[in-house]
Amino acid sequence: MLSKCNQLINYKPTLHIFSKSEGMQFNTVFTGKNYIELDSVDSTNNYAANLINTTKVPDGTVIMAHYQHSGRGQMGNEWLSNPGENLMCSIIYRTNQLAATESFVISKIAAIAVKETVEEITNQHTLIKWPNDIYIEQKKVSGMLIENQWQGNQLTTIIGIGININQTEFDQELRATSCSLVSGKTHQIDTVLKTLVQNLEHYYNWIRGKKHIDLNMLYKDNLLFFEENRKYKSNDVTFKAAITDVLNTGHIELTKSNGEKQLYAFKEIEFVF
């Protein structure tokens, strides 16, 4: 079950590279104006979901935790992180502008925002691995878990983001890295959070402004292995193809050298490294 977990349980003494929340100011219009900082929580997404179910949570609420004891990745996968070394947060947005078939755009803006954040702080070329993992030099530096709640056409989305910041040891098999490993520096986690929240609101406003075509272009421009001929695996068959498109629904289009095109949903296709 843990085969795809992102980080090794490698417990080291807590290293809090974080100035406490007083004066936590985000340079945004609404995102992070309601800010919750937790020392420890099961998972920031669970906390967000409980908050949504029990209170009227303001749009753009940001929840940040120094430690998650049951961090979650994709269905059934754990997200493990050394205490105090990485950024774990969830952002709550509400909108009635998106149809269920369009909601992949949330994945796109979150991926673009994280990609730009990591690039800004590390100065390293960073890319998006479809659908929304963030990679540097073919290693994963960030992942996210997006959970949506629909009430009619009213969508409440919880964008859970984990970015490896100062952790330096990872299980080899995980193909993971951190900002610190690629930059050679120790980074302030609150600075990363501020940059992230700002970037996220910026691109969230693109959704509000209906700039779906621009978002699509930006997403594809920053996609790992886009238009590169590489190995992929589907139904236990390995073949060579190139990513030629990502549809609004999130489906990835692969084109083989003979021109044959095929669409894949998440989990129908595997990248071969």
Partner 1 sequence: MKLTEIQELIKFVAKSGVEEVEIEQKDFKISIKAESKKKSKDKETVYIQQPAAAPQIQAAAPAAAPVAPAAPAAPVASAPVEESNNYIEIKAQMIGTFYRKPSPDAKPFVEVGDSIKAGQEICIIEAMKLYNKIESEVSGKIVKVLVDDMSPVEFDQPLFLVDPS
Q: Which residues bind partner 1 (CB under 8 A)?
A: 1, 49, 72, 74-76, 99-104, 106-107, 131-132, 145-151, 153, 247-251, 265-267
Cβ closer to partner 1: 217 or 247?
247
- Sign of the C-alpha dihedral computed for residues 171, 130, 194 and 56 taken in this order: negative
- Residue in the structure block whose two tokens are 């886009």: 226
Is residue 134 within 8 A of residue 219, CB to CB? The reply is: no
| In the complex, minimum distance from the CB of residue 227 to partner 1, in angstroms, rounded to a whole number | 19
CB 101, min distance to partner 1, A:
5
Tokens of 127: 């890319």
Residue 174, φ and ψ in degrees, nearest 5: -80, -10
**What is the rounded CA–CA span in Å between residue 230 and residue 150?**
37
Smaller CB distance to partner 1: residue 121 or 207? 207
Please report how close the Cβ of residue 126 comes to partner 1 at its closest, in angstroms.
19
- Least distance in Å: CB of 193 to partner 1? 23
The residue (of 132 and 167) whose beta carbon lies closer to partner 1 is: 132
Nearer of residues 99 and 237 to partner 1, judged by Cβ: 99
Smallest distance, Å, CB 248 to partner 1?
7
Residue 135 C-beta: closest distance to partner 1, Å: 15
**Which two structure tokens, joined as six digits, stand for 67?**
């430690």
Laid out side by side, the sheet with 252-255 consists of: 261-264, 252-255, 237-246, 230-234, 270-271
Distance CA 75, CA 211 (A): 31
Which helix (H) or strand (E) segment holds residue 199: the answer is helix 189-208
CA 238, CA 231: separation in Å to the nearest integer? 7
The partner residues of 262 in beta bridges, in order of sequence, read 254
When the beta carbons of 6 and 103 are compared against partner 1, the nearer one is 103
CB closer to partner 1, 194 vs 251: 251
* CB 22, min distance to partner 1, A: 34
Both tokens assigned to 51: 């908050």
How many residues make up the chain in this entry? 273
Nearer to partner 1, 133 or 201 (CB): 133
